[in-house]
Amino acid sequence: MIISALAFAALALSTLDDLPGAYAAEGDGGTCRVILADPATRPADSRLEPDAVTGLALTAPGCPLAIEGAAIWRLEEDERGAALALFDQAGTLLWAGLREDDVWRGPDAEEREIVLRRVG
Mind listing the pLDDT tens digit for each residue in 86-109?
999 999 999 999 998 889 999 999
Question: How would residue 6 be classed by pLDDT, with cut points 50, 70 and 90?
Answer: very low
β-partners of residue 113 are: 107
Q: φ, ψ for residue 74 (rounded to 5)?
A: -145, 130
pLDDT exceeds cutoff 50 at 4 = no
Backbone conformation region of residue 101, classed left if phi is above 0, alpha if psi is from -120 to 50, else beta:
left
Q: Average the pLDDT over 63-72 and give the result.
A: 96
Helix residue ranges per DSSP H, 1-120: 2-16
The model's pTM? 0.79
pLDDT exceeds cutoff 50 at 10 = no
Question: How would residue 47 be classed by pLDDT, with cut points 50, 70 and 90?
Answer: low
pLDDT of residue 80: 76
% of the chain residues with pLDDT over 70 = 75
Domain boundaries, the chain: 2-118
CATH architecture designation of domain 2-118: Beta Barrel (2.40)
